[in-house]
Structure 1
Amino acid sequence: MDDLEAIKQLKYRYLRALDTKNWEVFEGTLTPDVTGDYGSSLKFTTRDELVGFMRESVGPAVITEHRVAHPEIDVEGDEATGRWYLQDRVIVPDFKFMLIGAAFYDDRYRRTDEGWRICGTGYDRTYEAKMSLDDVPSFALDVGPAIRID
């Protein structure tokens, strides 16, 4: 597999693990020294910090959907950068809340003995639309078996 395809699969695995709450797989996509920058109030300097935050804040009561497209990936030896267009949705039924948004991910990747890993990630939002599920009286939610709740 070439480097571009390996990096694409890594990003897709990162998002699948996040949305299915498979924290072991999610952790495995990141280097120990990964940095995360999701705006002024969400910054991380280690894998333990980033994974711990996601595990706590995106638990079983939070449904997420992350889709990326239009990758712009540049590989230089054992390092690479990537920019992705993100569309995401967050549903929190207990609070009758839904967010729909878009952003541009900026990632840094490093080739390791285990293959490519994310060593820096974050995004710049282009928009967020928030709504109360009370405003959508017909809203119903069924969660499939792919979501881990352990």
Structure 2
Amino acid sequence: MTDDLEALLREERDVRAISQLKYRYLRTLDSKDWDGFADCFVPEATGDYNGLVFDDRAALVAYMRENLGDGLVTMHHAHHPEIELTGDTATGRWYLYDRVIVEAFSFMLEGAAFYSDRYVRTPDGWRVAHTGYRRTFEATYNLGDLPGFKLTGPGVHTHT
């Protein structure tokens, strides 16, 4: 194999690993797998979600655990990755579409944003060093205004 081909294969493996990391971040967030979510980050990771700022992994994970717990259904989709590698670090930009449903308050939020992430290669693979997004829009709904709305699924607790 030529050096150019080997470098291209390494880059493709790294981009795939970073993409898998982002997908795992979203899956563990939505499934409320807080240990798995924490494992996506280095301990000193920071976050900035549209001005909601975190100085380390512990604070970020604690906030998500406390505020996205039972009674909240979330769905996060990230796509259109733009990943740039620089040795053992990388940056990523992703388009986010998300939805949050709080049936007890008859509330739904739907929105979009652009994630800007930084990644670092560790002995255990790629991890998030910084994550955050800036919203492009946010729409909120009263579920009572959506005739026929019904929420079902594993882990969904209906309120009457």
TM-score bracket for the superposition, by shorter chain length: over 0.9
Shift of 1:118: 0.3
Greater radius of gyration (CA):
2
How far apart, in 1, do the equivalents of 2:153 and 2:42 lie? Answer: 31
Higher relative contact order (CA 8 A, sep 6+): 1
Q: TM-score, normalised by structure 2?
A: 0.88
CA distance in 2, matches of 1:23, 1:97: 24
Question: Separation in 1 of the partners of 2:153 and 2:48?
Answer: 29
1:137 Cα deviation from its structure 2 partner: 2.7
Matched ranges for 1:1-150 at <5 A: 2-40=13-51, 42-144=52-154
Identity %: 54
AA aligned to 2:132 is G
The separation in 2 between residues aligned to 1:9 and 1:91, in whole angstroms, is: 26
Deviating above 6 A after TM superposition, structure 1's stretches of 4 or more consecutive aligned residues are none
- CA RMSD of superposed structures (Å): 1.1
Partners of 1:20 and 1:39 lie apart in 2 by 22
* Aligned pairs, number: 145
| Residue ranges of structure 1 left out of the alignment (5+ in a row) | none
Give TM-score, length-normalised by structure 1.
0.94
Q: Which consecutive unaligned segments of at least 5 residues does structure 2 have?
A: 1-11
